[in-house]
């Protein structure tokens, strides 16, 4: 690839930040306060910050230790555990983050309803579907023109989404009162006049926020996913660190500063986006306008960069022979044209189906969060494998082998904790979707390696177990959902 078309630190950091800072972050105060007190929220961010740091650091170390393993999440799965595992990472990431992108369409239309009521009410009426489809295909043509151009546009969008958040945090900082913040700090009292209720024990409060805190860090892998288009793998490492620190600081302040102005009960009852409700109360209607515009910019920017990321994994998998050959096709702008087209068509179908779905955004949000978990866990396990067995681990990078092994161990523990916090319902949905990809893998293997068996012996047993779990998942879903 031409070096002029490759991405530097700023562009890569923009990918990471934009992937994480979607429109939903503007409702983070209400999401976090819905069932947790200030004390529990603080503990939650400490746990999440430490846990996600180990995952982010895993990506930083692997980018340095395996600079040849571009397109990260997919490649780590294949190098560490075989082609079938690599395929499952690419398949799950692709399909389920397609759902997330459709979620952006729903949220965008619902946000536009603030300016044009009641045209886009709910974000999933037919007018919303039509307008969302138009935006979907505009983004398709932007990315088709080249990943470098799309990333440059994303940097502008990232700045545009950070400005409203900066205004919000500054206003809250000057309005903050410690007396309000420490009132019912642990959520154990009932204060009727401010809508506070006893939220129960600290552990249940913390657990209730964990899926939200995972969701807001989905995208931490952004620089790794597009690392095949980076100028240097060192830039990937730096961009991941910069994106992690920036977003952790923003999230923590967004969650805690409002609790120095309003009670937990008051925030929990605010209409989305709660940042707009807060700013309207503090500085008037124009504050609400600023935040709602911020939501729209954030959604468009994140939608754009996730489209870039979605098209990369099937493209990389096809180059390696675990996705059908046609997905490896590039156009003259070196954009993965067929992978991008297939992704857009899938998103278009899902977007139409959204019209018939109830509570569509929340379901998509939950599925997307859960589907990221295997990708993170496989990456940390791969790092553990190459450090524990010392498989040509380099001695000239910033992370020594023992430090990298500790990172891998704690990152894996955190990954298991997240799976526990996600719950059985969404994990079963995830397994069903992973199992649906098995025929695609078989087709790809027959195309690229017709004289070889599709599965190794271990992979065959793994596929059988996956199918059995998927069938159990279907029975469970039909019975209880």
Does 240 reside within a domain? Answer: yes
Does 60 reside within a domain? Answer: yes
* 27-47 per-position pLDDT tens digit: 999 999 998 999 999 999 999
pLDDT at position 339, please?
95
In the predicted model, what is the mean pLDDT of residues 116-134?
Answer: 90
> Please, which contacts does 344-348 make with residues 24 or more away whose CB atoms are closer than 8 Å?
344/136, 344/137, 344/140, 344/307, 346/95, 346/98, 347/98, 347/101, 347/102, 347/105, 347/136, 348/133, 348/136, 348/137
pLDDT at position 29, please?
95
pLDDT band at 358 (very low <50, low <70, confident <90, very high): low
pLDDT band at 371 (very low <50, low <70, confident <90, very high): confident
Does 127 reside within a domain? Answer: yes
Q: What angle do CA 346, 352, 353 make, to 5 degrees?
A: 90
Does 327 reside within a domain? Answer: yes
Is residue 401's pLDDT more than 80?
A: yes
Does 150 reside within a domain? Answer: yes
Does 122 reside within a domain? Answer: yes
Question: pTM for this structure?
Answer: 0.89
Are 104 and 23 in contact, with CB atoms under 8 Å apart?
yes
Peptide bond into 125 cis (omega under 30): no
Q: What angle do CA 284, 248, 240 make, to 5 degrees?
A: 130
Does 435 reside within a domain? Answer: no
Report the alpha-carbon distance of residue 69 to residue 147 in Å, rounded. Answer: 19
In the predicted model, what is the mean pLDDT of residues 408-423?
Answer: 85
What's the structural domain count of the chain? 1
pLDDT band at 372 (very low <50, low <70, confident <90, very high): confident
CA-based nearest residue to 233, from 408, 467, 12: 12
pLDDT at position 361, please?
53
Are 117 and 123 in contact, with CB atoms under 8 Å apart?
no
pLDDT at position 72, please?
67
CATH number of the domain enclosing 157 = 1.20.1740.10
Report the alpha-carbon distance of residue 126 to residue 66 in Å, rounded. Answer: 47
Does 428 reside within a domain? Answer: no
Range(s) of the domain holding residue 389: 3-359+370-422
* 323-335 per-position pLDDT tens digit: 999 999 999 988 9
Give the torsion through C-alpha atoms of 196, 202, 206, 207, to 10 deg.
-110
* 209-244 per-position pLDDT tens digit: 877 887 788 889 988 888 888 888 889 999 999 999
pLDDT at position 294, please?
93
User: Phi, psi at residue 191, to the nearest 5°?
Assistant: -125, 95
pLDDT at position 209, please?
86
- Asked whether the CA dihedral 208, 210, 211, 216 is positive or negative, the reply is positive
């Amino acid at each position: 690839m031409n070096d002029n078309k490759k991405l530097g630190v700023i562009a890569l950091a923009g990918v990471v930040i934009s992937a994480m800072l979607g429109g939903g972050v503007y409702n983070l105060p209400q999401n976090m306060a819905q069932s947790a007190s200030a004390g529990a929220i603080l503990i939650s961010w400490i746990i999440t910050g430490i846990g996600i740091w180990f995952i982010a650091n895993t990506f930083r170390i692997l980018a340095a230790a395996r600079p040849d393993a571009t397109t990260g999440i997919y490649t780590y799965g294949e190098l560490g555990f075989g082609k079938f595992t690599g395929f499952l990472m690419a398949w799950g990431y692709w399909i389920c983050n397609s759902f997330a992108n459709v979620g952006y369409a729903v949220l965008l239309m619902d946000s536009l309803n603030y300016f044009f009521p009641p045209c886009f009410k709910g974000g999933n009426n037919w007018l919303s579907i039509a307008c969302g489809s138009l935006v979907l295909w505009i983004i398709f043509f932007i990315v088709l023109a080249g990943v470098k151009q799309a990333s440059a546009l994303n940097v502008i969008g990232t700045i545009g989404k950070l400005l409203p958040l900066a205004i919000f945090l500054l206003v809250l900082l000057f309005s903050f009162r410690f007396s309000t913040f420490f009132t019912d700090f642990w959520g154990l009292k009932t204060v009727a006049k401010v809508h506070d209720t006893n939220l129960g024990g600290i552990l249940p409060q913390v657990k209730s926020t964990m899926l939200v805190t995972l969701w807001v860090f989905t995208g931490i892998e952004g620089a790794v996913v597009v690392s095949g288009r980076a100028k240097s793998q060192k830039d990937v490492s730096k961009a991941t660190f910069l994106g992690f620190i920036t977003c952790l600081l923003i999230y923590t302040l967004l969650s805690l500063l409002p609790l120095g102005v309003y009670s937990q009960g008051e925030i929990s009852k605010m209409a989305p986006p709660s940042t707009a409700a807060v700013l309207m109360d503090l500085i008037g209607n124009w504050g609400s306008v600023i935040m709602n515009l911020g939501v729209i910019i954030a959604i468009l920017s994140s939608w754009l960069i996730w489209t870039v990321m979605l098209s990369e994994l099937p493209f990389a998998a096809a180059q390696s022979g675990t996705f059908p050959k046609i997905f490896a096709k590039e156009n003259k702008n070196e954009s993965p044209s067929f992978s991008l087209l297939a992704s857009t068509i899938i998103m278009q179908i899902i977007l139409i189906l959204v019209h018939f779905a109830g509570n569509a955004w929340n379901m998509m949000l939950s599925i997307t969060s859960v589907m990221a978990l295997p990708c993170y866990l496989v990456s940390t396990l791969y790092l553990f494998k190459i450090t524990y067995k010392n498989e040509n681990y380099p001695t000239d990078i910033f992370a020594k082998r023992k430090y990298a092994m500790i990172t891998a161990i704690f990152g894996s523990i955190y990954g298991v904790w997240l799976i526990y916090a996600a719950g059985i319902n969404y994990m079963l949905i995830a397994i069903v979707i992973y199992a649906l990809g098995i025929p695609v893998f078989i087709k790809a293997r027959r195309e690229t390696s017709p004289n070889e068996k599709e599965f190794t012996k271990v992979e065959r047993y793994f596929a059988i177990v996956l199918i059995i779990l998927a069938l159990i998942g279907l029975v469970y879903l039909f019975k209880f959902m």
